[in-house]
Structure 1
Amino acid sequence: MTTEAPVPVGAMPRMRTRKGVPASARGMRAAIYVRLSRETEESTSPERQRAACESLCEVRGWTVVAVEEDIDVSGFSRGLERPGLQRILSRLADFDVIVFFKIDRLARSTVDFAEIMKIAETANVGLASASEPLDLTSSMGRAMAKVIAVFAELESDTIGMRVSNAHEHLRREGRWTGGRVPYGYRVADNPGGAGKVLEVDKTESDTVHEIVKRVLDKDSLMKIATDLTAAGIPSPGHSSRQTTGKRSESKKWYTTTLRSLLTNPQLLGQVIEDGKPILRTDGLPLVTRPPILDMDTWQALQDELERRANPGERRREGTSLLRGILHCSLCGFRMYTFVSGGKIRYRCIGRLKKAQSGEGNGCYGVTIAAEALEEYITADFLKTFAKIPVVRLVEHAGEDFRPQIRQAEEALKDLQKDRYERGLFKGDDGAERYAEQYASLEERAASLKEKQRHAKPAGVETVPTGQTHGQMFKAADVAGKRELLLNCGAFVEVGPGKKGVRKLDDSRLGVYYGDEGLIRRSGGRLKG
């Protein structure tokens, strides 16, 4: 028996196969394709797929010139955009046949499989399955392959639906099904049985409560994010707390990170899927884990964040202390800062505003030095309010069971139609099953109506913060201090200055707090 030296791949002649000619001809060049979505004990391992494909090539006398793999890559979600598959499709001139373990390894949808067949046919390249007795180079074989692909797609959809239903069932039982762990929680063994659950992480929960407290105390999100970063507290996406998904090695916090965290209803213990809370049969959000925030605090937090997001309500941070507080006594317009001679001053822009509209208002543009004025107002404010405790207003959302009552009553009507109009509840036990369901719904409707009679009304409650105005003013940034002044009704009028007077002349000032300041503000002196 003589042996021949192997022929280099590049020197092998290209064997063209005509449509309808079986792909069993010897000497063809084969590319093996292996794909696995997720390697588990139940999956066909890459090694087994490759061995089966190599065995087919050996039996048919084909030469394997390339092996490409897509591991942990979904054929359903990625379509044809798979690195290994693309490498094969980009060099079809080097192959005569593409070998794969099963059709569902090559494509998970009929559309994708048909597209691959079309591309291969155009390049005169055959397709061969290592575990399915199909001749994919014949017309009948291609037709049968498409039929198999249809069933493969159906099986994929069925598996996806089954997995989705199983996950939803586990979530409704309070089990953790994987993914990114919400900030404030950690994964723990299920004390009630198999699987995992989420429990409150005390360290992260304390961080959430501190963030919420500072937001309600009017601290800016930028300041909070800066402080968290300086303290070295890992951000929600840091790799130290996330084992899967998008992770970061940076512990830096951003205002977007804070806003995303503080607006996530998972802080209430709600279960989220596709960005929305999963609802119970009564239409209320499903809560299967201990909440980090109570409903009143959550509502107050959302109101504060909404106020800051509203351009009409938001006050610019990092600007002057008395912005929105200082007004010209001549025309009533607000006063803004400008720089003159290297120093900051406040001035009225009422004359400029009126000139733009072609009017005059008799104001020549009152100005005053910023530093001395701010020191004076700060001292005056602290003299009055320093020892007064700060309280925050917490709005109670109240309880309203009327939507649930309507839902229960509609369910009763549908049940009646099921029996008397649609002819359901047949058989010997039909009447008994109908009566049982009707009684259950009737009992639920009655229970909800009783709850509505004793529902907690909406209202506003004052909650002590444990700090005085002086303590909070000292710790706050410029925006926080201005917020405290505004909350206390601070309203300052500045009159014309006297010639030759360089120091602050407090006789030019009218300083008001409380109800008087609020009345003056609401009286129309908010121009500019």
Structure 2
Amino acid sequence: MKTVRVAAYCRVSTDKEDQANSFENQQRYFLACIQRNPDWVLQNIYADEGISGTSTKKRKQFNAMIAAARAGELDLILTKEVSRFARNTLDTLAYTRELSRRGVGVLFLIDNIDTRQQDGELRLTIMSSIAQEESRKTSQRVKWGQARRMEQGVVFGGSLLGYDVQDGQITVNQEGAEIVRRIFHACLIDHKSTAVIARELREAGIPSSRGIVKWSAATVWKVLKNEKYCGDLVQKKTYTPDYLTHEKKYNRGEEAMIIIRDHHTPIIDRKTWDAVQQELARRGHPGAL
């Protein structure tokens, strides 16, 4: 009897409540399945944690498994269902076809699909299309939910110079706020260019929001243009046009931004803010006087 070298692949959730898909549970599931087949020998169990199934690019364990198959180390791959393998129809078919050419089958246990069988690809195409459509709907639901929370004033994104953001709430960080005020004063009152301000901040050893002394004219310009400092909140400055790639793009009118005026405690009063915006418009670019 020929020995079948078997690998298992699972994509596990980071949600502690999602115990049904935990790595330990899936590992026991695969081991029990392999033990029922005496000619199967486990080579490895590959698991990616908390990574979307719509793209395989960032799934290191998935790619390691494919590399092992390409190296001739596997005969069969087990996975629970199509949605655990990939939610992108093109990826699913491309990988299973390549694996088939290399003599490696894929067995989707719950979906009862075996790519080694004649009708395997047809059934896989149908199931992967369903999985991809479910992923699209999930993406829409998540985006809709995020937009409603944004409208309620929940802040999405991380902390920045002068503000701490935690659990969707934004509060003033006094140490950082003093640096912000210094930058606005240097621009409006001292009439210094952003390049000069950046150099002075570097020379003074003052850290940016990331805790490093790496100021540039462009960095200072961004501080001066950030509407959060006058208490306003503008969200959805970027958007994700393709739920499959998750690639973000700058929102140039493709989607409506969510703007809340006087959302939080300002660091810079609105009169000063407006005057600085006029000054920046006069200068025209980050390094100008």
Q: TM class by shorter-chain length?
A: 0.7 to 0.9
Amino acid at match of 1:285: I
Distance 1:46 1:197 in 2: 33
Shift of 1:277: 9.7
Q: Is the 8 A contact 1:30 1:98 kept in 2?
A: yes
Distance 2:58 2:98 in 1: 14
Q: Is the 8 A contact 1:307 1:314 kept in 2?
A: no
Shift of 1:310: 5.2
Q: Is the 8 A contact 2:48 2:61 kept in 1?
A: yes
Secondary structure at the counterpart of residue 219 of structure 1: coil
Q: What TM-score results when the alignment is normalised by the length of structure 2?
A: 0.80
Partner of 2:207: 234
Q: Is the 8 A contact 1:234 1:251 kept in 2?
A: yes
Distance 2:47 2:161 in 1: 36
1:303 aligns with 2:281: no
Partner of 1:206: 178
Partner of 1:466: none
Partner of 1:101: 80
1:66-215 matches, cutoff 5 A: 66-76=44-54, 78-80=55-57, 82-92=59-69, 93-177=72-156, 179-187=157-165, 196-215=168-187
Runs of 4+ with deviation above 6 angstroms:
none
Q: Is the 8 A contact 1:271 1:277 kept in 2?
A: no
Q: Is the 8 A contact 1:174 1:289 kept in 2?
A: no
1:31 aligns with 2:7: yes
Q: 1:284 to 1:161 in 2, by over 3 A?
A: closer
Q: Deviations over 1:333-386 (max 9, x none)?
A: xxxxxxxxxxxxxxxxxxxxxxxxxxxxxxxxxxxxxxxxxxxxxxxxxxxxxx
Distance 2:83 2:207 in 1: 42
Secondary structure at the counterpart of residue 199 of structure 1: strand
Of 45, 52, 57, which residue of structure 1 is paired with 2:29?
A: 52
Partner of 1:42: 18
Distance 1:80 1:139 in 2: 29
Q: What TM-score results when the alignment is normalised by the length of structure 1?
A: 0.46
Amino acid at match of 2:30: C
Q: Is the 8 A contact 1:185 1:201 kept in 2?
A: yes
Q: 1:36 to 1:271 in 2, by over 3 A?
A: farther
Gaps of 5+ in 2: 239-249
Shift of 1:284: 8.4
1:343-422 matches, cutoff 5 A: none
Gaps of 5+ in 1: 1-12, 16-26, 189-194, 239-249, 316-528
Distance 2:32 2:121 in 1: 22
Amino acid at match of 1:84: Q
Shift of 1:125: 0.8
Q: Is the 8 A contact 1:270 1:277 kept in 2?
A: no
Shift of 1:276: 4.9
Shift of 1:224: 2.3
Of 63, 66, 71, which residue of structure 1 is paired with 2:41?
A: 63
Distance 1:158 1:128 in 2: 26
Shift of 1:220: 3.0
Partner of 2:197: 224
Distance 1:251 1:45 in 2: 42
Shift of 1:218: 1.3
Secondary structure at the counterpart of residue 99 of structure 1: strand
Shift of 1:114: 0.9
Shift of 1:172: 0.9
Amino acid at match of 1:68: Y
Distance 1:284 1:150 in 2: 33
Amino acid at match of 1:151: I
Secondary structure at the counterpart of residue 7 of structure 2: strand
Q: 1:235 to 1:48 in 2, by over 3 A?
A: same
Distance 1:39 1:231 in 2: 44
1:226-375 matches, cutoff 5 A: 226-238=199-211, 250-268=212-230, 269-273=232-236, 274=238, 275-276=250-251, 285-287=259-261, 288-309=263-284, 314=288
Distance 2:78 2:30 in 1: 6
CA RMSD, 1 decimal: 3.1
Distance 1:167 1:130 in 2: 34
Distance 1:82 1:110 in 2: 16
Shift of 1:81: 5.2
Aligned residues: 270
Shift of 1:309: 3.8
Secondary structure at the counterpart of residue 11 of structure 2: strand
Q: Deviations over 1:234-275 (max 9, x none)?
A: 31233xxxxxxxxxxx33322222122222233342222115
Distance 2:143 2:153 in 1: 15
Q: Deviations over 1:388-422 (max 9, x none)?
A: xxxxxxxxxxxxxxxxxxxxxxxxxxxxxxxxxxx
Distance 2:14 2:56 in 1: 16
Amino acid at match of 2:183: I
Distance 1:253 1:40 in 2: 40
Q: Is the 8 A contact 1:50 1:101 kept in 2?
A: no
Q: 1:40 to 1:112 in 2, by over 3 A?
A: farther
Secondary structure at the counterpart of residue 95 of structure 1: coil
Distance 2:207 2:177 in 1: 13
Secondary structure at the counterpart of residue 139 of structure 1: coil
Q: Deviations over 1:114-162 (max 9, x none)?
A: 1111111111111012433333321223322222212211221222211
Distance 1:259 1:130 in 2: 55
